[in-house]
Amino acid sequence: MALKRGLSSVGVHRNRSSGSRFPIVILVLFSVLAPLVFFVGRGLYISDQNNVQSGYTKQNVDWRERLALQSIKNLFTKEVIDVVTTSTADLGPLSLDSFRKGNLSASWEVVETSVEDDATSQPNLKAAELKQETSKDGKLLDDDRSPDAPAKTLRRQLRDNRRAKRAAELVHQDDEATLKLENAAIERSRAVDSAVLGRYNIWRREIENENSDSTVRLMRDQIIMAQVYIGIAKMKNKLGLQQELKIRVKESQRAVGESTVDADLPHSAPEKIKAMGKVLSIAREQLYDCKLVTGKLRAMLQISDEQVRSLKKQSTFLSQLAAKTIPNAIHCLSMRLTIEYYLLPLEKRKFPRSENLENPNLYHYALFSDNVLAASVVVNSTIMNAKDPLKHVFHLVTDKLNFGAMNMWFLLNPPGKATINVETVDEFKWLNSSYCPVLRQLETSAMKEYYFKADNPTKSASSNLKYRNPKYLSMLNHLRFYLPQVYPKLDKILFLDDDIVVQNDLTRLWSVDLHGKVNGAVETCGESFHRFDKYLNFSNPHISRNFDPNACGWAYGMNMFDLKEWKKRDITGIYHKWQNMNEDRALWKLGTLPPGLITFYGLTHPLEKSWHVLGLGYNPSVDKKEIEHAAVIHYNGNMKPWLELAMTKYRSYWTKYIKYDHPYLRSCNLSE
């Protein structure tokens, strides 16, 4: 009231002095602007402080700022206030929500305040404009009676939309990251070879299988570690422990023996494992040294590796030897037939229809073999599938040892109406060392050492055991290069190996146009290792200058030879030339295919592959349809059908042409 009286007295005397107006104006401005400046500055300070402390620049505006803005509504126009409000909206007004999130009581209420403005004569502000009520569900809602409620609602919706969008983006990014991690984990799991994991680990899943070999492997691992500690114990003079380890090793080795699965182990195996485990624990406590153990294991690994290489080398040699030797049963058959043959009178040793042997209008076959049973399969399969057996003539050549047996077999089992003749390679007097380079080379000391001193340490380490085969000592293998000399009256002849089976009529081969070539054969260049560079030494200038390393190879086993063209082109002379150049085996290793590729280079006509299917002696994945549709199937390789190591899946194609009820076969225990 005193203030009012002072102001009224000032009003009464305002006309008295114009200088007294200035203090009044200052007082009014101070009373109005001072709170404005204070509250605006306080709001900005709080906003800056919140920015520093929390890192967020968009917070709710302090309630004091709103109170100050309400106080100056009459000083500024509505447009100015809207601009100020909009520009500060991003700071975010302070609300009771933020206080409630700070664990304040839900019953907290804003104290009603009022500001009396005598200059503007405005009614007191109602506390309801700033009051926020608590809803029944516990949420605080802004009072809609506030003059700027629609603007705040719009801003709140925009903020909520931005937050929801950002939250959705973050969730989407999290889903993508999770999906990427899952895919990466799946790829890594696929890349891991589960067969390798835990291969020597006793905790692998196989331990749960009753029929697994985990116990056998555990015992073998114990033996290995015991052998390691035996060496270390000797080095550290632990003789008692060394002796104990040796005893346990012998016991475990006897228990394991040749067992490969747990079922083969004796009942005492678990006891042996426990006893060995105890000794190994003691040895580990007294002797374990990482460096020493690692060195011992490395040395044992190297020794084992050398042993494996040596055994593989021996296995290769023995398999090659087994593939080219005759089983006891077939040898028995040959001996019995030989005895029977030489007991026959001379007049009964002759074959009928000998006049057909030089008739060029018939179908002639050349077969060079020392295996009676194999030769019988070739002849029988050819005749059984021939449309007119009467026109087929077989020329068999064997060695002196099997000459009687081969004659006796076909005298007892004639090939129907077909013609057959058996000769021995020793009857060809022209085939001597002065004419044949191979015979001359086989008589040299170097060749004898190569064959008969294979274990000599001076031999070349690169020599391949595959070519150290006794069959190369026989001229039966090289007689194929002298066909015109052996059969001078014939024009064409079909050469057959003794490890083939004929499944179709072959007479159409004599009508195949060879287009002036000498040799008709099926090519084998479907794979890179069947090309010339596999068989010939292209580091030699004689080979590299005359032949293409990528030239396609072809197969011996079923070859149609035009003997007229052979003579014209002097094929035998070409063979002699290259064979003389290869006396030191610098051009190719021993064998007949490499010189055949050279001799008939550019002179071979490719036949359709269905005429001749190969690989039944080494390839377990030959297509069954190809075998059944082939005219000739070839058991080339080591797994010959008459050997125990033959592949069972292919053997029936060969055995069906053998009569196992034959008395000679029964007496020699030959069976399927």
Out of 39-43, 181-185, 219-223, least confident range:
39-43
- 166 vs 158: CA distance, rounded Å: 12
In sequence order, the β-bridge partners of residue 141 are: 133
Ordered by where they begin, the domains of the chain are 214-323 (no CATH), 328-453+468-668 (3.90.550.10)
In tens, the pLDDT along 363-392 reads: 999 999 999 999 999 999 999 999 999 999
Following CA atoms 532, 537, 538, 539 in sequence, which dihedral angle do they give, to the nearest 10 degrees?
170
pLDDT the model gives residue 563: 96
More confident residue, 487 or 84: 487
Of 523, 518, 467, 468, the residue nearest 495 (C-alpha): 518
Confidence of residue 74 (pLDDT cuts 50, 70, 90): low
Within 13 Å of residue 608, how many CA atoms lie on the same side as its CB? 11
> How many C-beta atoms lie closer than 10 Å to residue 70's C-beta?
18
Specify the pLDDT at position 472. Answer: 63
The residue that leads in pLDDT, 16 or 346, is 346
**For residue 310, what pLDDT is reported?**
86
Spatial CA neighbour of 465 closest among 586, 333, 312, 336: 312
Which residue stretches of 389-489 are H helix? Answer: 403-412, 437-442, 445-452, 483-486
Question: Does residue 316 or residue 97 have the better pLDDT?
Answer: 316
* Tokens linked to 494: 């079909």
Please state which of the ranges 19-33, 43-57, 74-88, 314-328 shows the lowest mean pLDDT: 43-57
More confident residue, 25 or 152: 152
Q: Tell if the pTM clears 0.85, that is, is over it.
A: no
Residue 355: is its pLDDT beyond 90?
yes
Indicate the average pLDDT of the chain.
78
Within 10 angstroms of residue 521's Cβ, the number of other Cβ atoms is 24
Question: Is a pLDDT exceeding 60 seen at residue 207?
Answer: no
Nearest Cα neighbor of 615 from 505, 522, 493 is 522
DSSP 460: -
Q: In this model, does residue 283 exceed pLDDT 60?
A: yes
**Residue 360 φ/ψ, nearest 5 degrees:** -70, -10
- What percent of the chain stands above pLDDT 70? 69
In the three-class reduction of DSSP (H, G, I as helix; E, B as strand; rest coil), residue 419 is classed as strand
Q: Is the pLDDT of residue 58 over 60?
A: no
Position 188 confidence tier, pLDDT thresholds 50, 70, 90: low
Q: Got the DSSP string for 551-587?
A: PBPB-SSEEEEEHHHHHHHTHHHHHHHHHHHTTTSSS
What's the number of CA atoms in the CB half-sphere (13 Å) around residue 504?
A: 15
Dist. CA 575–CA 438, nearest whole Å: 10
Phi, psi angles (nearest 5°) of residue 24? -65, -45
Instruction: Give the pLDDT confidence score for residue 126 in this predicted structure.
Output: 41
pLDDT in the model for residue 20: 52
Residue 292: which pLDDT band, with cuts at 50, 70 and 90? confident
Kindly indicate the confidence band of residue 33, based on its pLDDT and cuts at 50, 70 and 90.
low
Asked if pLDDT for residue 464 goes beyond 70, the answer is no
Lowest mean pLDDT among 156-165, 388-397, 496-505: 156-165
Question: What does the pLDDT read at residue 31?
Answer: 65
What interhelical angle do 21-54 and 63-71 show, nearest 10?
A: 160
pLDDT of residue 135: 42
pLDDT at site 164: 85
SS3 141: strand
pLDDT for the residue numbered 123? 43
Give 480's pLDDT tier (boundaries 50, 70, 90). very high
pLDDT at 133: 43
Q: Are 500 and 379 in contact (CB under 8 A)?
A: no
Share of the chain above pLDDT 90, in %: 40
Q: What is the pLDDT of residues 110-160, one digit of tens each?
A: 444 443 444 444 444 444 444 444 444 444 444 444 445 787 888 888 888
pLDDT of residue 412: 94
pLDDT, residue 166, reads 81
Beta carbons within 10 angstroms of residue 505's beta carbon? 15
Of 43-47, 303-307, 422-426, 583-587, give the range with the top mean pLDDT. Answer: 422-426
Higher pLDDT, 16 or 450: 450
